[in-house]
Structure 1
Amino acid sequence: MTHGTIYDPIRKKEVPNTPEERVRQATVRYLLHEVKVPEHLIAVEFPLSTIDPKTDDRVDILVHGFRTGATMDLPWLLVECKAPGEYTWEALQVQLNKYLKVITPNYVMLALGDTVRYFVINPETRRFTKIDSLPQFQ
């Protein structure tokens, strides 16, 4: 059930105010204000078909690594957001693994309601290491 709309500063429009969208917008605010990611490098509901036409998956939030010269398939951050109570960490991991077949981010952020987990990914081994928080965007 939605209660009106919520403004998305990245997509520059009102979107349905769903529990998942509230998590997504809280994450966007966190990235803008705490991590200091420039607004123009954030993509919301990013279609992975931009990189691999064979997929119709969408990533909740992607922070491009263009500043460091990275291509679209090597973003700085991939974020997956879910409303509280809708998913388990295991289900989130399965969804994330699908995305990681297409892109290799430096960092991954999983937001399950108010609970957030952060990881850094080794690009060679593709191994995840849990970290306490994201570094400031450079």
Structure 2
Amino acid sequence: MQKLNFPTYSFRFKNSENKVSIFDTIRKKFVVLQPEEWVRQHCVHYLISEKKYPKPLINVEKELSLNGLKKRYDIVVFNPDGSIHLIVECKASKITINQDTFDQIARYNLTLKATYLMVTNGINHYYCQMDFENEKYTFLKNIPDYNL
């Protein structure tokens, strides 16, 4: 797999039926290693190791209902009160992040109401803070460390 623009992490892999799987520490199971999963696992480790978000507040690949359609988010970090602190949208490294990517996470956020958004393809990372009152978002240099 391609080297990503994250610190180096140590992952657990297994090979079965000619498919390589990577261990997801949040879902506590091996998942097939696809390019987007490679980015997602790096991002999970980044949130835990660098940003100090507690594992119990992180959720990965869950379904949500959006205008009657079933969608899946990549990563959500909750606040201790159950509200959503951060949504992360992960793309494979060969996918260019563009306005469509931001529109996708913004649509998810209409339902989820996260304070922060992160979009990454493992190479480029974009961070935003929501301003619900003025219905806009502000780009940030990074997301804040966990400090609740």
TM-score, normalised to structure 1's length? 0.86
User: For 1:77 and 1:113, how far apart are their aligned partners in 2?
Assistant: 17
Give the gaps of 5 or more residues in structure 1: none
- After TM superposition, the structure 1 = structure 2 runs for residues 114-133 of structure 1, keeping only pairs within 5 Å, are 114-133=123-142
Residue of structure 1 aligned with 2:38, choices 7, 22, 31: 22
Question: Which aligned runs of 4 or more in structure 1 are off by greater than 6 angstroms?
Answer: none
What is the identity percentage for the equivalent residue pairs of Structure 1 and Structure 2? 34
CA contact (8 A) 2:97 2:120 kept: no
Residue of structure 1 aligned with 2:59, choices 28, 43, 52: 43
Match of 2:22 in 1: 6
Greater radius of gyration (CA): 2
Task: Report the RMSD for the aligned CA atoms in angstroms.
Answer: 1.8
- After TM superposition, the structure 1 = structure 2 runs for residues 79-98 of structure 1, keeping only pairs within 5 Å, are 79-98=88-107
Give the gaps of 5 or more residues in structure 2: 1-17
Residue of structure 2 aligned with 1:134, choices 135, 139, 143: 143
SS in 1 for 2:105: helix
Q: Which amino acid aligns with 2:118?
A: M
CA contact (8 A) 1:78 1:109 kept: yes
TM-score, normalised to structure 2's length? 0.80
Q: Which amino acid aligns with 1:47?
A: E
User: For 1:48 and 1:124, how far apart are their aligned partners in 2?
Assistant: 24
Residue of structure 1 aligned with 2:122, choices 113, 119, 130: 113
Q: Which amino acid aligns with 1:92?
A: T
